[in-house]
Amino acid sequence: MFDGLLALGQSIAAFSTPETIFFALLSCLVGVVIGALPGLTATMGVTLMTTLTLKMPSSQALLVLICTYVGAIYGGSRSAILLNIPGTPASAAACLDGHALARQGLAGRAMGIATSGSVLGTLIGMFFLAAFTPVLGNLALRFGAYEFFWLALFGVIVSATLTGNDPLKGWIAGALGLFVAGIGQEPIHAYERFTFGTRDLAGGIQLVPALVGAFGLAELLAVMYEKSAPVRVSAYDSVIPKLKDVFQYWRTIFRSGVIGTFIGILPGVGEDVAAWSSYAAARRASREKEKFGKGSIEGLMAAETGDNACVPGAMIPVLTLAIPGSAPAAVLMAAMLIHGVRPGPMIMTEAPQFVYDVVTMMMFATIGIFFYGLTLTKLLTKVLAVPRTVIVPIIFVLCAIGAFAIASRLFDVWVMVVFGVVGFVMRRFGYPLAPMVLGIVLGDLLEKNLRRGLVLSDGDLMPFFTRPISAVIFAIIAVTILVRIPAVRRLFARRGPAAGSA
């Protein structure tokens, strides 16, 4: 434990330079603004900043990306409270009580609650990040091909089941993502698949252009399609967080922090599910259930603590298993690889200090959102009033650069456009995009380990089910799928009362 604290101290000392603090504050500001602007998500923000930081030293680049991520998740609450429009999907739950408080003339207090919830949520998540990552990292060293195959499938299935509101469409999106990952040269014989003779496709579909399309252009197309209502910013009072709110709802904060972190650890599930789960848990446990949806401080605190705690939580599987806990974390993982950091089971052996560097980056981001929580309200209300007709083309220009800059290929700009249009259509018809993205990220891991496992066992499928860790992950996958099938649920519902009466 003392080794861990010492390593954390070293990281904090290394990052405490004026230049680093400047970059942390600047990127938090960018994140808060991106998060606050409806139609711009944390994933889009982190993806665009990945391009901007390509030539920076790796530690500074990752600091900028993490601060943007944390800032964007926090920034979403501003438009949720002031406009009743969630700046990011993660803030949808905050709309319910945040805007209700604003209608009562308490927008400033609501923003203060969002600030304290977000700061404390990130701190709780940071604690678990520092405490769990080394443990999980050591456990991951026991994983072999069979376990990694199931883990990759688990990631896609869990993401597909819990994001969106239709598991069947989530599974289809996940399978499509896994298929897309297989386009290009396959990992064993370098055989070209589904390339139709084009050289560009032989290299495969790169993650960043696909992400910029799915989370950038698709969002912009949604903004174009939705007729924008006139922006009416609610009046606000003092935004300084009240200690009374923190002390009164400390149980809610702690519970939401733990739930948010746990949801973050689940692959590809993300902040919106963390916010709604924390909100639902707070409502169940509350003595003031009737206030939820009508301006409940507890409800807003739960939603904001949950979604921000999810951010450090989402980094735990990235660091230990190379499996992203959310869509923005998938981009962060891609950025780590671009900057020469190899996340995964070997991280605690090869670069243990990096884990504490990430914790320190989260700490800087927390300070950043606290600072802007107190100071930025006036500027943000001005930014929120900028018409979308101006923001959309500027963001699209950044999307084009974001897709191009990683490999300097025009082909990637076309990939971005295709994924944007397909992503928009899929979203219109209720298909969640997070499982598709996770499928693209995990496709290679899944395929390599399935084929490796089959070669090792000479085609015998039993090791996939009989090795203890494999069996556990398989059982979780099976239960996750089965409980979502209505016919199975009906069967259990029928058997339940019958068993009870017998």
Partner 1 sequence: VRPAVDRPDVVGSAVWIVLGVAIVLAAVAMDRMENQGGTLYTAPGLVPGLLGLAIAGLGVLLGVRALRGGNGARAWQGTSVVPAVPAQAGAGPDPVADTSAAARDAAQGDPRALAVGLLLCLAYALGLVGRAPFALSTFLFVTAYVAVFEWRRRGEAGQRVRGIVLALVYGAGTALVVSTLFEKVFFVRLP
Euclidean distance between CA atoms 461 and 468, whole angstroms: 14
Q: How many angstroms from the chain centroid is the CA of residue 321?
A: 16
Contact status, residue 300 vs residue 14, Cβ threshold 8 Å: no
Strand duo 184-185 + 192-193: pairing? antiparallel
> Quick one: which of 55, 284, 287, 378 contacts partner 1 (CB under 8 A)?
55
Q: How far is the CB of 138 from partner 1 (least distance, A)?
A: 30
Give yes or no for residue 273 binding partner 1 (CB under 8 A): yes
Please, which residues bridge with residue 185 across strands? 192
- By CB under 8 A, tell whether 427 contacts partner 1: no
Q: Which of residues 391-420 bind partner 1 (CB under 8 A)?
A: 392-394, 396-398, 400-401, 404-405, 408, 410, 413-414, 416-417
Tell me how far, at minimum, the Cβ of 293 lies from partner 1, in Å.
7
Q: Which one, 7 or 99, has the nearer CB to partner 1?
A: 99
- Contact range with partner 1 by CB under 8 A, out of 24-32, 272-280, 355-363, 463-471: 272-280
Exposure on the CB side of residue 112, measured as CA atoms within 13 A: 17
Smallest distance from partner 1 to CB 343, Å: 23
Residue list 11-40, contact with partner 1 (CB under 8 A):
none
What's the CA gap between 282 and 142, in Å, rounded?
A: 37
Contact flag: residue 496 with partner 1 (CB under 8 A): no
CB of 364 to partner 1, least distance (A): 20
Site string for partner 1, 179-208 (x = CB under 8 A): x--x---x-xx-x-xx--------------
Which of the residues 303 through 362 are near partner 1 (CB under 8 A)?
none
Nearest-angstrom CA–CA distance, 325 and 266: 6
Q: Looking at residue 388, what DSSP letter applies? A: H
176 makes contact with partner 1 (CB under 8 A): yes
Query: Hey, which residues between 360 and 389 contact partner 1 (CB under 8 A)?
Result: 387, 389
Beta carbon nearer to partner 1, 157 or 311: 157
Residue closer to partner 1 (CB basis): 8 or 446: 446
Q: Which residue is associated with the tokens 């069979």? A: 146
Which positions from 207 through 266 interact with partner 1, judged by CB under 8 A?
217, 220-221, 224-230, 232
Q: Is 179 exposed, middle or buried (0-12, 13-18, 19+ CB in 10 A)?
A: middle
Residue among 172, 240, 351, 469 that touches partner 1 (CB under 8 A) = 172
| CA pair distance 470, 479, nearest whole angstrom | 14
Q: Which stretch binds partner 1 (CB under 8 A): 13-21, 366-374, 463-471, 478-486?
A: 478-486
What is the identity of the amino acid at 501? S
From the CB of 440, what's the least distance to partner 1, in Å?
12
Q: Which helix (H) or strand (E) holds 36?
A: helix 18-36
Q: Which two tokens stand for residue 82?
A: 């002031």
List the beta bridge partners of residue 192: 185
Q: Please enumerate in sequence order all residues whose Cβ is within 8 A of that of 290, keeping only pairs 6 or more positions apart, or say none.
A: none
